[in-house]
Structure 1
Amino acid sequence: MSDDACAQTLAFAESPVQLLNTLEWAHTTGPGGFTVVILPPHDPTSRGQLRRMAQLARDSGCRVLWREARGGALTPSRALAALAGPLRRARRLVIGDPFSHYLQVLLSMARDCDIVVVDDGTATMEFTAQLARGERLVRWHRPQARGPRAMLFAPVARRAVRRLTPAAGRSVEVFTVMPVQAMEGITVSANSFSWTRSRFGPPRLTGGADLVGTSLVETGVLHEDGYTAAVAALVREHGITRYFAHRKESGEKLRRLSREARVEIVRPDLPLELVARRGPIGSKILSFPSTVVHTLPHVLSDTDVEVVVCDVAESLFTERVTERASGFLATVTSTARGAHGLAPPRSAAPQ
């Protein structure tokens, strides 16, 4: 495949899930091959998963470039300079996290080309709602940024929002498994995880129960003590034997969960959707509000796995959590139950 052919579509991935959903988009609606630029974060778990996902992308016919874009003072500017040419040539950009400041800079540098946004988790729901309201893009669990740095970045953020807004000669597509707010001019395409199901599985079921971990403690949304107690209660009530850690969970917290909740900690080497599809996996999977309560019902649609979504008790939230943030988590839960018929656990976690 020539470089010119690959340059027609340029995809950026900062996380393993973004790259997985980019491959799902390509399998469903995209070209046979294109260039994927991986912009890895610092944490080793994410980097390891991205390296494994990169090989899957190569096996699927994509050209993959690994670009270190974070680090010292010169690293970001060098990476941006190297990407300037491909950005100017690209006729379509595929991105996974429109909230990322780095990707907003890349969008501001790009030509007036078509845009595809693929899922990077539940944040896609908030992205389409904010875009429809014409707001600056801010993650659901963070307050509006203020101060000199925010003021300096504001022109870049506004330009990125314009790039993400449909206009004459420029299409915008959202490829998602999430229930999103419709917006005039944006094409919403459903992600059914057909690539994942055709590539892997169906998995062998263990007959037991697994729990999906969350990084809501690390992001300051939940108290660690309360979360640990809630996990321990679920382990006792449902006979959970394995806890699949989120890639951003700290080692210290996971060791505490292993000790106090008496559960085996599993650090997945790929996104959980692929781990579940490859198996073995529990016959019941429990999760707090997160992306997987929307993705796993599709990934495991041809199996007898039961996916259960757990409510988050108000007492678990930290003082910094806004009404908007707690409402967003409640929406993740209610929409998953509405779309997939997911039930709450038969016993409630401690209040």
Structure 2
Amino acid sequence: MPPAAGTPAQTLAFVESPVQLLNVLEWAYADLRRTRGTVSPPDRAPGAAPLGREPADAAPAGYTPYGAGPPLRDPAVGTTPATAPRGPAPQGYGHLVVVVLSPHDPMTRGQLRRMAELARDEGVSVRWEDARDGAGASLRTIGGLSGPLRRAERIVIGDPFSRYVQLLLTLTRARELVVVDDGTATMEFVTQLAGGQPLVRWHRRGTGRGPRDMVFAPVSASARRKLTPDGDRRVEVFSSMPVEPPEGITVTANDFAWTRARFGPPRLTRGTDLVGTSLVETGVVDPDRYLEAVGALARAHGATRYFAHRRESTDKLRRVSTELGLEVVRPELPLELIARRGPIGRTIVSFPSTVVHTLPLALAGTGVRVAVCDVDPSWLTDKASPRAQGFLSGVTGSAPDVHHLRSTPTTTTP
């Protein structure tokens, strides 16, 4: 039976990264504004810890933590109050249950824990699953979620390329599916869905027809069908990216209204901040060329701080610190929240990434300028996907509110 008018559908959301969880909160806020009119974020739950007021307890040696809070518990499923909302849900967030499919990467886990606590402070139920802790964990997770999946009226996902999520989608009967941004991958997802192509991440080489892909192909095909609207199923994409959806898919703009209502405006410094990317870690950009470009940008714009991506390697960040003399900052929350709360530079320089689309929205009205430096084709590795250059150019070319910098010349160090 559908929910009564003005009553949010019972919703199950699956996230695997901090940005996905942030965008689920943005979607929930926008959804309540649609169903109940203009709203403001609820007061934080009684006793909720103030974010960003105390030093982090476990930052890597040599790096500055940013956006840190008090020491965090590991929210295991079934404990109390870790899996329960820590306060009332005055705006109806109680209809939403977020399931965190925790990855192995410690930096991602740390940011997810911070975001999970922030979500609970908003009155959202969060269920933490160590879904990748061995083969038995996968079976336990899927078995434990089969009932909620069948009962949910609406499913929200952050990564349609995730095989874990694709497998879970085969179990749902929900007639509403929502895809929230997982960064620039949303652009590729919509393009592939419109073209009836296999769901393959843009930076992967090949066609998605390797042995493992072929074994998983029936599940991937089933997920793609679930993400295609028909007469009984509604599909929404909630995105801050410029996307051209297939016929029948609803696109809702993510303007970071919740972030702007909850945090800031930030205190601005006089300097320039650089934003790092994981293009080296994904095998797209040569590490030495990347470091040369970072150094050239820092000199040209007077930058002294480098905000690291959560997937950047420790060795690369050590070189950024020791060879380039930059202060490496490891945020404990997504950069959109860190920048909104400040302090942040009056100019932010980034390579092609999600933030060239999201930061102008989160920082609207603050006077911060966001600039993007294109990736020169000579920086690409021989392992980079043939689609890489075109995709990265599309990321920067479609960002409407940023200042475009020319590729910074680099010279190979003898």
Residue equivalent to 2:16? 14
Q: Does 1:79 align with 2:141?
A: yes
1:349 and 1:270 map into 2 onto residues whose CA distance is 32
Classify the secondary structure of the residue corresponding to 2:93. coil
1:313 touches 1:350 (CA, 8 Å); kept in 2?
Answer: no
Q: 2:384 aligns with which of 321, 341, 345?
A: 321
- Structure 1 residues 315 and 335: CA distance shift in structure 2, 3 A: same
Classify the secondary structure of the residue corresponding to 1:88. helix
Shift of 1:237: 0.8
Q: 1:32 aligns with which of 63, 87, 93?
A: 93
Q: 2:276 aligns with which of 213, 222, 243?
A: 213
Calculate percent identity across the aligned residue pairs.
Answer: 62
Residue equivalent to 1:226? 289
Kindly report which structure 2 residues correspond to 1:143-158, keeping only aligned pairs within 5 A, or say none. 143=205, 144-158=207-221
User: What amino acid sits opposite 1:302 in the alignment?
Assistant: G
Residue equivalent to 2:176? 114
2:187 and 2:212 map into 1 onto residues whose CA distance is 27
User: What amino acid sits opposite 2:93 in the alignment?
Assistant: G
2:220 and 2:9 map into 1 onto residues whose CA distance is 25
Residue equivalent to 1:279? 342
Q: 2:316 aligns with which of 253, 260, 264?
A: 253
Aligned length: 344
Residue equivalent to 1:162? 225
1:141 touches 1:221 (CA, 8 Å); kept in 2?
Answer: yes
Classify the secondary structure of the residue corresponding to 1:206. strand
1:185 and 1:60 map into 2 onto residues whose CA distance is 32
User: What amino acid sits opposite 2:263 in the alignment?
Assistant: F
2:25 touches 2:258 (CA, 8 Å); kept in 1?
Answer: yes
Residue equivalent to 1:237? 300
Residue equivalent to 2:410? 350
Residue equivalent to 2:66? none
Which residues of structure 1 form unaligned runs of 5+?
Answer: none
Q: Does 1:128 align with 2:190?
A: yes
1:174 and 1:146 map into 2 onto residues whose CA distance is 27
2:284 touches 2:385 (CA, 8 Å); kept in 1?
Answer: no
1:26-63 C-alpha deviation (Å, 9 max, x unpaired): 00114633100011111111111111111111122211
Residue equivalent to 2:47? none
2:376 touches 2:407 (CA, 8 Å); kept in 1?
Answer: no
Classify the secondary structure of the residue corresponding to 1:197. helix
Residue equivalent to 1:310? 373
2:356 touches 2:372 (CA, 8 Å); kept in 1?
Answer: yes
1:90 touches 1:113 (CA, 8 Å); kept in 2?
Answer: no
Shift of 1:112: 4.3
Q: Does 1:67 align with 2:129?
A: yes
1:139-180 C-alpha deviation (Å, 9 max, x unpaired): 000022333322210000000000000011110000000000
Q: Does 1:141 align with 2:190?
A: no
Residue equivalent to 1:293? 356
Greater alpha carbon shift after TM alignment, 7-16 vs 295-304: 7-16
1:268 touches 1:275 (CA, 8 Å); kept in 2?
Answer: yes
1:183 and 1:215 map into 2 onto residues whose CA distance is 29
1:236 and 1:65 map into 2 onto residues whose CA distance is 45
User: What amino acid sits opposite 1:32 in the alignment?
Assistant: Y
Normalising by the residue count of structure 1, what TM-score does the alignment of the two structures yield?
0.95
2:296 touches 2:410 (CA, 8 Å); kept in 1?
Answer: yes
1:6 touches 1:35 (CA, 8 Å); kept in 2?
Answer: no
1:267 and 1:6 map into 2 onto residues whose CA distance is 36
By percentage of residues, which structure has more helix?
Answer: 1
Superposition RMSD in Å = 1.5
2:273 touches 2:348 (CA, 8 Å); kept in 1?
Answer: yes
2:406 and 2:266 map into 1 onto residues whose CA distance is 25
Classify the secondary structure of the residue corresponding to 2:278. coil
Kindly report which structure 2 residues correspond to 1:39-50, keeping only aligned pairs within 5 A, or say none. 39-50=101-112
2:373 touches 2:406 (CA, 8 Å); kept in 1?
Answer: no
2:363 and 2:409 map into 1 onto residues whose CA distance is 25
- Structure 1 residues 138 and 346: CA distance shift in structure 2, 3 A: closer
1:198-231 C-alpha deviation (Å, 9 max, x unpaired): 0000000011000000000000000000001000
1:205 and 1:290 map into 2 onto residues whose CA distance is 22
2:100 and 2:407 map into 1 onto residues whose CA distance is 42
Shift of 1:118: 0.2
